[in-house]
Amino acid sequence: MTEDPLPDGARQDRLVQMGEPPRTLREALAKSLWIVIWLVFLSSPVQDLVSGEHTTRATVAGGIGLAAFVAVYLTLVFRNMGRATADIRTVALMVLALVALAVVLCLTLGPPWLGLFVYVSVACGTAFPLRVSYWTIPLTAVVMLLVGLHAGEKDARDLILLVVLIGFAMTGVRQLVRTTVELRRARATVAQLAANEERLRLARDLHDLLGHSLSLITLKSELAGRMLPDHPEKAAQQVADIEQVSRQALVDVREAVTGYRRPRLAGELAGAQVALTAAGV
């Protein structure tokens, strides 16, 4: 069995954090990888543009419209994925822009552009609140069906189930991302509270250890100061007691602090080796 050369913290840093912005170029590429999967629905519009069936003006206009659609879609989805919707009006305007572009492109360039409504459904599932997503996703499917029938696409009914299922699937993904972010924040809060509790416990233990000793040192110091002019021998005894109490307090503090120190890696490995030996492994 080979040992992992990376500690847990370093290995965790290499993982892509769900629901968080990328920290490095590698994470940005990893987070953008799933975009390629969804771009499969753009294959039909792109093929339609390069097929040469449209005029040059229509092809250029279609390319500009497609670029605008993709830009609005990516901005909308990545802005709201896993986050609470801050401005519902802005989101609604962007979704309406997607719907308008999809309708215009489908009616002017033909049925191959019906796949754009899949992205509209995804945007409704990721950007809107759940109560809004539950009715905007079926509404998107109905709009797609009407546009498809008007454009002469008889197979538009087959896309309804796809649009609805993908839209509702994205609501689940959105909830998963949001839950992951909340769990990560809760774990960080718990770790911070545990650290604060440890500090308080250490402070209480040090107070219990040093409170009595420091009080005794203070009293004996005052007593030695009073005895010093007339009874130097007794004052010297008090000073010796102060030294003894101080040394004992120092020992107690060192023992208490040592108990809070984490064992070193060598000690942990040695303990694990002893446990494995005892188990007969």
Question: Domain of 54?
Answer: 15-184
Q: Are residues 137 and 221 in the same domain?
A: no
Number of domains observed in the structure of the chain:
2
Q: What angle do CA 196, 201, 207 make, to 5 degrees?
A: 125
- Half-sphere exposure (CA, 13 Å, Cβ side) for 281? 7
Last residue of a domain, one of 157, 184, 211: 184
Q: Are residues 159 and 264 in the same domain?
A: no
Residue 159: which of 94, 104, 106, 81 has the closest Cα? 106
Q: Are residues 99 and 129 in the same domain?
A: yes
Cα dihedral 255→261→265→266 (10° resolution): -10
Domain containing residue 232: CATH number: 1.20.5.1930
What is the tally of helices (H) and strands (E) in the chain? 10, 0
Q: Is residue 5 part of a domain?
A: no
Last residue of a domain, one of 184, 215, 231: 184
Structure tokens at 211: 């409170």
Q: Are residues 174 and 233 in the same domain?
A: no
Render each residue's pLDDT in the chain as its tens digit; 281 residues: 444 444 444 444 444 444 455 556 665 566 666 555 666 778 888 888 888 888 889 889 999 999 999 889 888 877 665 454 457 888 889 999 999 999 999 888 888 888 899 899 988 888 888 888 899 999 999 998 888 888 776 666 778 888 888 889 888 887 887 788 788 888 888 888 888 887 888 778 777 777 777 787 888 788 778 787 777 787 788 788 788 878 877 877 777 777 655 444 454 445 445 444 544 44
pLDDT at 96: 93
Last residue of a domain, one of 133, 161, 184: 184
pLDDT at 22: 53
d(CA 165, CA 163): 6
- Dihedral sign, Cα of residue 120, residue 125, residue 127, residue 132: positive
d(CA 4, CA 11): 9
Q: With beta carbons less than 8 A apart as the criterion, state whether 41 and 144 touch.
A: no
pLDDT at 159: 81
Structure tokens at 105: 């492109």
